[in-house]
Amino acid sequence: MPLTAKRPIVERIAVEIFDRLKRLEAGRDDSIQLSEVIRPKRLGGWTPKHLQVVMTQENPERNDELSFVGNPPAVAYDQQYNIRCHVMPSELDPVPVEEWTNLMTSEVIRTITSYSLWHTMGGLAIDTQIRQIENIDTDGSFDGANVPLIVTYRVSETDPYTTR
């Protein structure tokens, strides 16, 4: 069986978010066209670029309040996905870095939430929350912001491939 033949719910949610973000890379939106949207590989293989989005995920946290007893139990998780928006304008660019960052984070949020029932991630999640935007300030190589998404989903304790 190929690695991608069957994906657990947490990965299917990641793919749903990634596919939504790719719309900005394709230039199908009316405000901004990203240079690229990536999910890093094990050895990296990417370099920060102007108008780049790098999507990563944190460790899932169990959500006992939304879990259900049963045989088998349904276990709920809160999964944080980080959507890091990188800006590296030319030194001659008259547009302030903060304006680029504000534009990118606004377009990321608008693109992710532009679907009816966007918070269910295509029926895979219970809820999705956009958390506080966090500024990225590096050593001068690039700036930007992180848009954290917390996606709450529920699966069978014995079957992480099936939503409950």
- Residue-wise pLDDT for 60-84, tens only, equals 999 999 999 988 899 999 999 999 9
Please say if the pLDDT value at position 1 is more than 50: no
pLDDT at 142: 67
pLDDT at 6: 87
Choose between 47 and 107: higher pLDDT.
107
pLDDT at 58: 96
Please say if the pLDDT value at position 21 is more than 90: yes
Cα 16 to Cα 1, 90, 112, distances in angstroms: 22, 32, 9
DSSP assignment, residue 73? P
DSSP-based three-state secondary structure for 118: helix
CATH superfamily of 9-163: Phage tail protein-like (3.30.2000.10)
pLDDT at 68: 92
Please say if the pLDDT value at position 4 is more than 60: no
Enumerate the domain spans of the chain.
9-163
Phi, psi of 15 (to 5 degrees): -65, -40
* Tally of residues, the chain: 164
Which residue type sits at 107?
A: E
The answer to whether 126 and 153 are in contact (CB under 8 A) is yes
